Each structure stands twice: as structure tokens, then as C-alpha cells.
Amino acid sequence: MSWLFGLRKEQPPEFPQFPSDTTGMSSGSGSEGGGDQGGGGDDKTKGGKMEAYRFDSTALERAAKAAKDLERSKFSKDALDLSKMQEHTIQLEHQKLIKEYELQIEQTKMDQARIQQEERRKTMAEETKQHQQRAQYQDQLARKRYDDQLLQQQRANEENLRRQEESVAKQEALRKATLEHEMELRKKNEMARVEAEMKAKAKVDRENQDLYLEQIKLKAAENRTTVLESIKTAGSVLGAGFQSFVTDWDRVSATAAGLTLLAIGVYSAKMGTGVAARYIEARLGKPSLVRETSRIAAFEAVKHPIKTSRRLFSKATDALQGVVLKPSLEERLRDIAIATRNTQKNKGMYRNVLMYGPPGTGKTLFAKRLAQHSGMDYAIMSGGDVAPMGREGVSAVHKVFDWAGSTRRGLLLFVDEADAFLRKRSSEMISEDLRATLNAFLYRTGEQSNKFMLVLASNTPEQFDWAINDRLDEMVEFELPELSERERMVRLYFDKFVLQPATEGKRRLKVAQFDYSKLCSDIAKVTEGLSGREIAKLGVAWQAAAYASEDGVLTEKMIMERVWDSVEQHKQKVQWQTAEELKKIKTKMSIKDMAASVVTEKKQIATESSSFSSNNTNQSPPIS
């Protein structure tokens, strides 16, 4: 088999030609016979029939020769081993194919089992579903039967109840008819009995009339005799006692002295109690007109000792702390604060100050800071509380100034809305009680004092009486804040009401991320015309908006919404104020016109009456 591997040295092996099958052999022999076709058709027919019985031995010879050559070759053993290995490899491949076929069969079985399980699961699910549907349907049928039973039972109960009600109604009607019949019979019997009794009594009274009259006369005579005897007895006893008292001069003098001492004691106790009460009220109590004060009362000191000690040992603060005003106004107010503090230290005379301007511009706030800065106590009263007091206003004003004069540290008396009762006395709109109160106020403020400092605040100072203007030493106008002041206020209140609570973390308040400085500048630009109080209320509104949100976060949009709302409300207030002022002006002009017309009519009537009296001297002049 050395020719299979090409290992022959002399020459390459000759490859034997093996017939592939018997069909080739017959075809080969046929081809050979085909060369003789030119001999004739009979030879061709015979040759075709003999092809099946012809055997070609050349192939066997070539195979035998190849086998011999292979046996002689020295590589015959290797060729055999190689053929065995090839055969073994082929067997292994066949075994691999068999294993793969078996694996495919097992996989097919597993797929069949899985499909069977899936089909079984689907079948069970379908059966379960059908069972559930059957159970639901049965439950629905049972509920429907139960509802029908309940409905039938309800109808039966209603029918029984209706029958019972009808039976009860019939019984009640019968009972009522029976009672009515019984009452009718009883009424008739009672009427007959009463009529018989009245007739019998009338007959007896008629028969015994003389006896009754005699009894009445005897009772009246006995009563009259008894009354006369009691009067005589009482008169004799009282007369004897009074005669004995009058004749005994010791008793008369003792009685007179006792009554006199009793009257003196009652009057002295009443006056002493009143004086003590007024003294205690002036020293310890707070007058009714004072709304707020920093002065410490004895009862408050006992009740709140820690708070009192802190107030007593508190240090002086800046007079303009927390107050945002124009630089020129701040400089002037600072001079007033320094002068007031030095006046308090040197026990000098205080100067009275008038602060006027629109509401909410910081007048009250500066008055408190001024008192704290100068080391004085402050007291705040409203001018609107004086007018309703009527006749008690004079005594209330005196009590306020007596109380103010009893302080040791000095008192800053701040009168807010002072034009409510300090208006011109020449005006017809002021009452007599208010006029007397104003006179009392002028009397107590006629001279400079080292006990109290008077600070008046008003929105309309032109209504003050001239004597009030004469008592004022300093007049300060508080104007609406401009752009720079508004921006400082917005930053102050934004930090106070928004940023500080948000950084503390104790409240439900957070601030979104945006440019705070730019936002404060924009707010200051759009809030032109707003007062300091309105800007402070904006801070409270921002805080309330954050508390009202779901997550407690204050956004730039929420802030600007509150700002625009405040601006619109301010415009509405200005419109109302303008309309009210125009209405007042028209009312005043109409009143003046009416007064002028009345004066003209009076003059005409007087002229006509004088002319009529001169022409008719015997007639009386007409009444003008």
C-alpha cells in the first residue's frame, strides 16, 4: 500500500483504475463493442445481449497487483495502522452522531414532557377558572335568592305592620269615641249637679241673707275696735319714750355726739380712701389712657422679677437701630437722641417734639428707640381714646401727667394721632367736653418739664390748635421711603423674616436658589409709594406663603406674587383716600355755599321787614 502515501523512490506509483460499479464496466465494454458498429446492426444486437454475461478480470488483476505491491512496501504496517485509526475515528464520529441523536431524542422527550406539563397547567388553570366562574355564578344566584327572600320578608313585614297600624288606628278610634262619649255623659252629669248645687245654694243664701249681713257687721265692728286700741297703745308708748328721752339731756347730748362722730368717721374714711387710691394709682398704677409703657409697676416687678431686672440693668441702645430713614433725617434724629440723652443725665428741661408725615413711616418706632437710647421710660397713648371719655377726659389727662411726673428716670410721653383731640378750638366740630380736655392738656404742658418729654405724632398737623403749636420745640417730617431706603428695608425684612428662620432649621421654611440681592433691588423698584409698615408686612406675607406651600419652599415666583398683590392693594387704598378727600372738599364747599345763601336770605328778610315796618307802623314786624 506504499503507493497510497507516495513513498516510492524510483517512480511515482501507478494508481489502479477500479471500476466504480458494474454499470461502468458494462458501459466500458459497451464502448468497446461500439467500435464495431460499423459492421452492421446484427452484431450490435448480439453484443448488447452478451454484455450481462461478460466478466472483466483486469480489475481483479490490478487489485491483486496493488495488494502485492502494498505487502512488499515497508510502510504497509503504518498504512494499516493509519487505516485502523481512520476507521476508529469514523467509529467515534458515528458514536458522536449517535449520542447527538440520543440527546436530540431526550431533548424531544423533555420538550414533549414540558409541553404536556404546560398543557396540563393550562387545563388546570382553565378548570380553576371554570370552577371560580361556577362558584361566582352560584354565589350570585345565592345572593339573588337571599335578596329575594329579604324583599319578600320586608314586604310581608310591611304588610303586617300596615295591618297592625290599621288595627291600632281602629282601636284608637273606638277608644277615643268611647272616651268622648264618657266625657260627654260626665259633663252632662257635672253640669246637672252644679246647676242643682247652685240653685240650692242660691235658695239657702236668699233664705239666710239677714244672718250673713249681721255677721259681716259684727266682724267689721270688732276689727275697727282692735285697730283703734292698737293705735292708742303705740302712741302712748312712743310718746312716753320720746318725752323721757327729751327730758333727759344726757341722752340727747350723747346721741348727737355719736351721730356727729359717725358722720365725721364716714366722711374721713371716704376721703382718706380716695386720696390713698389716687396716690397708689399715681405711683404704682397705669392710667387708663396709656396703652403701652416700659415703666415698671410694683405688682409687675413682683410678678416678673427676672424681666424687671433685665430691664433695669439693660444697656442703652442705638436710637436708630432697626429704623431705616433718609440720611439727612437720620442725622437730625440722631442729634435729637443725643440731646435727649444728655438732658436726662444732667436733669435738664426736655424739649417737646412733633413728628408728622404719612402713616407707617416709623414715628412710633423711633419714639420707642429714643426712650431706650436716652435711658427714659416711655408711655404711648392714642388721641382717639380721649374724645369718647367725655367729661372724664379732663381727670384722665390730669392722671396721665400726675403719673408721668412721679417717675425718677424721666418719661417720654408719645401721643399718637394727637390731632384727634388737640384740634383748633375755633372749629365748630369740637365739643365742650373735648374743649375742656384740650384746656387741661394745655395747662399741664404750659411750661418746660424735667420729668417728661412730650412727643406728638400726627398725619394732619395743620389741624392743631395754635397753642399746641406754640408748645412744640422741634418739628420733624417723616416722608415716604425713596428707592435707596426701600432697598435697605427690603433687605432688612427679607433677612429677618425669611433668611434667618430658614437658616435656623427650626421652622417649616426653606428658600429656593435664586439671586437674593437682585430680587431685593427689583422689589425696591416696584414698591414705589409704599410705607415702611407696608414693606414690613411684605416680609410677613412671604413667610406665610412659605408656610402655606406643600413643601415649605419659598420661590422667587411666590415672593413676586405677594409683592404685586401689595402694590395693587396700595393703589386701591390711594384711590379710596383720594375719593374721600374729594368728597370732603365738596361737602365743605356745599356747606359754605349753604351758609352764604342763608346769610343772604337773612339779609333780604331783614331789609324787607325794615321796609315793611316803616310803611306799616301799626303792624308788628315779621320774625326773621
pLDDT of residue 594: 57
Q: How far is CA 221 from CA 209, 216, 231, 375, 474, in A?
A: 19, 9, 16, 92, 94
pLDDT of residue 349: 92
User: pLDDT band at residue 213, thresholds of 50, 70 and 90?
Assistant: confident
Neighbouring CB atoms inside 10 A of 386's CB total 27
Contacts of 597 by beta carbon, 8 Å cutoff, 6+ apart: none
Name the average pLDDT for the chain: 79
DSSP assignment of 216-261 equals HHHHHHHHHHHHHHHHHHHHHHHHHHHHHHHH-HHHHHHHHHHHHH
Domains parsed from the chain with CATH numbers: 284-479 (3.40.50.300), 487-604 (1.10.8.60)
Q: Where are the beta strands (DSSP E) in 164-246?
A: none
Residue 290 phi/psi, 5-degree rounding, is -80, 120
The three-state secondary structure class of 377 is: strand
pLDDT of residue 110: 92
- 86 vs 88: CA distance, rounded Å: 5
User: pLDDT band at residue 364, thresholds of 50, 70 and 90?
Assistant: confident
- 442 vs 466: CA distance, rounded Å: 11
Query: What share of the chain in percent tops pLDDT 90?
Result: 23
Q: Which of 101-110, 308-317, 404-413 has the lowest mean pLDDT?
A: 308-317
pLDDT of residue 510: 84
* Confidence check: pLDDT of 580 > 80: no
pLDDT of residue 119: 93
Mean pLDDT of 207-224: 84
Mean pLDDT of 104-126: 92
Residue bearing cell 410678678: 303
- Considering only residues 339 and 577, tell me which one the structure prediction assigns the higher pLDDT: 339
Nearest Cα neighbor of 19 from 59, 57, 52 is 59
Side-chain half-sphere exposure of 465, counting CA atoms within 13 A: 22
Q: Which of 118-127, 309-318, 501-510, 554-563 has the lowest mean pLDDT?
A: 309-318
User: pLDDT band at residue 619, thresholds of 50, 70 and 90?
Assistant: very low
**Contact status, residue 364 vs residue 457, Cβ threshold 8 Å:** yes
pLDDT tens-digit readout, 394-451: 999 999 998 888 888 888 999 988 888 888 887 657 788 888 999 999 999 988 888 9
Q: Is the pTM of this model over 0.85?
A: no
User: pLDDT band at residue 11, thresholds of 50, 70 and 90?
Assistant: very low
- 301 vs 295: CA distance, rounded Å: 10
